[in-house]
């Protein structure tokens, strides 16, 4: 149970913050970037759920994902340690399996993709395309943390690495969000297709400046 009695603490005023194992590190640490981007992705998904007019089953899937993302962030901020006193939240393979099953299920609802598509159509679709890009950034940030800290469990004298399942989860989630963005546009006839430059012969005229 989380019990926050005060939001500001002043403990970060010197540019450091606490990780999940209570060790302190710089606010520019690559691990912080990874879970900050993950938190941002969660917020963008929240906007899609709140304002996107999405179907009930999509909302249910996205709400589950939002809960997962809190755990992904908790995992990223807690170095891998041998025999921790308090076992931390860790991403599980089952969560990734769920995402892959969701991808397979929702993909049956849309036509095969024969063109790149533009973010747009419905508000829900646009927000989900936005969420896709933020999750992809979170995955890149998590990979940067993996490259810096590795994926090994540390003893009490070392700095633990990153759970490799975090990057896998974020990768599959970006795929799912892209598919859901397409599903969200079914109500308006489907995807907004990209028209390459050579095919955009009839460009809108620019209005004259006053």
**Model confidence over 9-33: pLDDT tens digits?**
655 555 655 565 656 665 668 888 9
Half-sphere exposure in the Cβ direction for 158 (13 Å, CA): 12
- Mean of pLDDT values over 144-148: 94
CA neighbor of 21 nearest in space, from 159, 165, 148: 159
Q: Are 5 and 65 in contact (CB under 8 A)?
A: no
> Of residues 134 and 23, which shows the higher confidence score?
134
Q: What is the pLDDT of residue 197?
A: 80
pLDDT digits (tens, 9 = 90+) for 31-63: 889 989 999 999 999 999 999 899 999 999 999
Residue 201, both tokens = 């012969």
Q: Give per-residue burial for 127-151: e unless 16+ CB within 10 Å, then b.
A: bbbbbbebbbbbbebbbebbeebee
Question: Structural domains in the chain?
Answer: 31-193 (1.20.1200.10)
What is the pLDDT at residue 8?
54
Q: Is the pLDDT of residue 157 over 80?
A: no
Strand, coil or helix: what is 66?
Answer: helix
Q: Tokens for 54?
A: 């999405």
- Taking the C-alpha atoms of residue 171 and residue 123, their distance in angstroms, rounded to an integer, is 23
- CB-based contacts of 207, cutoff 8 Å, min separation 6: none
């Amino acid at each position: 149970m989380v019990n926050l009695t005060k939001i500001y603490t002043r403990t970060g005023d010197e540019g450091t913050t606490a990780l999940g194992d209570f060790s302190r590190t710089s606010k520019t640490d690559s691990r912080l970037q990874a879970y900050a981007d993950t938190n941002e992705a969660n917020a963008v998904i929240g906007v899609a759920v709140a304002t996107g007019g999405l179907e009930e089953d999509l909302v249910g899937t996205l709400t589950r994902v939002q809960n997962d993302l809190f755990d992904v962030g908790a995992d990223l901020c807690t170095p891998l340690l041998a025999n921790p006193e308090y076992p931390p939240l860790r991403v599980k393979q089952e969560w990734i399996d769920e995402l892959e099953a969701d991808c397979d299920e929702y993909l049956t609802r849309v036509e095969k993709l024969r063109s790149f598509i533009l973010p747009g159509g419905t508000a829900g679709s646009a927000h989900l395309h936005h969420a896709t890009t933020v999750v992809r950034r979170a995955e890149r940030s998590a990979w940067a943390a993996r490259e810096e800290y590795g994926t090994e469990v540390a003893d009490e004298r070392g700095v633990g690495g990153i759970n490799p399942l975090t990057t896998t989860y974020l990768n599959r989630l970006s795929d799912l969000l892209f598919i859901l963005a397409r599903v969200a546009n079914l109500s308006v006839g489907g995807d907004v297709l990209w028209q390459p430059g050579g095919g955009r012969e009839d460009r809108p005229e620019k209005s004259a400046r006053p």
